[in-house]
Amino acid sequence: MTQETLKPQEKKALIELLYQLADDDFILSFRGSEWLGLAPHIEEDVAFSSISQDMMGHANLYYNLLEDLGEGEADKIAHLRTPDLFRNAIILEEVNGPGTYLKEPDYDWAFTVVRNYFYAVHKHIRLDSLRHSSYEPLAEAARKIMTEQYYHLMHWEVWFKQLMTSTDEAIQRMTTAIQKVWKDFGGVLTLGPYYEDIVKANLIDDEAVMKKRWNNKIEAVLKEVGANYPGEPRMERGNGRNGVHTDDLKQATSTLSEVYATNPSTGW
Amino acid sequence: MSELKNSMTDIVMDALGKVKDPEIASVSILDLGMVHEVYVTEGAVKVSVLPTFSGCPALHIIERDIKKAIEEVEGIQSVEVNFVFTPSWTTDRITPEGRERLKEFGISPPPANHVMGEPWEIDCPYCGSTYVTMENIFGPTACRSILYCKSCKNPFEAMKPVADMGL
């Protein structure tokens, strides 16, 4: 399908899906950028900021696809929406830990590794499906993103497996982080209220199929590092795909858009 | 060849050859294989460009530089630059000249026919040794990795290999 051949119902579903894809990458990439200068060591600082930059680029690609569909300018979509219009999963907006990057950041590296690894696994599964999407511009974008995301997945998998097989303290912290992420990771694995239309339009695989792929992969990895699979991840604080969010998203978007909002008509 | 040289397309291509990667001053966008198609019709030029990495901040600068370079060609009234994703930019699009110029800049070119997931062999751009270690897959820009040569004891960079994911 192209822009011209989309039926109204398909277009609506496509727009919903694109907001999910864009906002997931946008918000998690922002959380990643807050680690700049604070990562455990200098090499990680280089790697993590590069990954965050790639992810911001991926969000930008999706926002541009939304712009092509008449949703307004990509920059405005990213910067001027109120939090209730965001479609990212709640676990991705959560702060990195107490403090801010400017003042007493007491960020949780185990939480960051777990969240990013689980997300990277899902993102890979999602892209693998999107590259066959019925909407050709989305399929093309997915193929591009995939070549870059390959390195992200590899990166987080190394961190995850090493910390899970490291000292008692590392294993303890990682286990706590897994329990925390598990409570809300179900929100990443859902396609939201327009799920049926999204799947019917062949934009992406059925969410049940992708969920199963994710669960199988994570279960195998947990087994490999000697940890227990805690059953299906939950969605305790609500579904971000419905526009349900926490105050953490407000903090994220107001910081992200602080400069842009001072003069939206200027070219930044 | 001399006959072809006179065509407008060739003059435009020459102009494109002068557009450098803002972050690697020695290589042009033609060297990097970023130019996909060029159409010249009656003083109007359309260039489609393959972005290297999607979050690359140099893309806007490259777009501006392409316009500037072609607009200077006599007889050209308009220039349109589009970024496209099909075909995908992969590191095997880098030309042999581009590979040499990357080396001059201290950046090792990627393996010519990389298969995603397989280990890559990288030679030191200074001494040619293969006795190198990967320090960080991620480097100072999205497209570069950081390595260390155990033979001549120099740190160096390499273009991160990007291959099509089997489509």
Does residue A267 fall inside a structural domain? no
Q: Shortest Cα distance from B138 to chain A (angstroms)? A: 5
**pLDDT of B166 strictly over 60:** no
Cα–Cα dist A156/A217, whole Å: 14
**Identity of the residue in B86, B88, B136 whose CB atom sits nearest the CB atom of A147:** B88
Number of domains comprising chain A: 1
Strand pairing partners for B157?
B107, B146
Backbone angles phi and psi of B146, in degrees to 5: -110, 130
Residue B90 to residue A143, Cβ atoms within 8 A: no
Across all residues in chain B, what is the average pLDDT?
89
pLDDT at B6: 57
Interface-testing mutation among B49, B141, B165, with chain A (most A C-beta atoms within 10 A)? B165
Cα–Cα dist B78/B45, whole Å: 6
- Taking alpha carbons only, the member of A53, A81, A65 closest to residue A3 is A65
Dihedral sign for Cα atoms in the order A115, B160, B94, B57: positive
Give the ipTM of the model, two decimals please. Answer: 0.85
**pLDDT of B4 strictly over 60:** no
Cβ contact B35:B16 at 8 Å? yes
**pLDDT of B167 strictly over 60:** no
pTM for the whole structure: 0.93
DSSP conformation class of A33: H
Averaged pLDDT for residues A122-144: 96
pLDDT at B42: 87
- Taking alpha carbons only, the member of B40, B43, B35, B33 closest to residue B10 is B40
A266 pLDDT band (50/70/90 cuts)?
confident
CATH number (domain holding residue A114): 1.20.1260.10
| H or E element in which residue B46 lies | strand B44-49
Does residue A116 fall inside a structural domain? yes
Cα–Cα dist A113/A178, whole Å: 10
Does residue A1 fall inside a structural domain? no
Q: DSSP string covering A189-218, please?
A: S---TTHHHHHHTTSS--HHHHHHHHHHHH
Max mean pLDDT range (A137-146, B55-64, B119-128, B134-143) = A137-146
**pLDDT of A56 strictly over 50:** yes
Averaged pLDDT for residues A153-182: 97
Which domains are present in chain B? 2-83 (3.30.300.130), 94-159 (no CATH)
Residue B137 to residue A131, Cβ atoms within 8 A: no
Domain that holds residue A31: 7-262
pLDDT at A268: 62
Residue B54 to residue A60, Cβ atoms within 8 A: yes
Which comes out higher in pLDDT, residue B85 or A28? A28
B53 touches chain A (CB under 8 A): yes
Does residue A268 fall inside a structural domain? no
Does residue A102 fall inside a structural domain? yes
Averaged pLDDT for residues B91-99: 92
Does residue A2 fall inside a structural domain? no
For residue range B97-154, what is the model confidence (pLDDT) as tens digits? Answer: 999 999 999 999 888 777 777 777 899 999 999 999 999 999 988 889 999 999 999 9
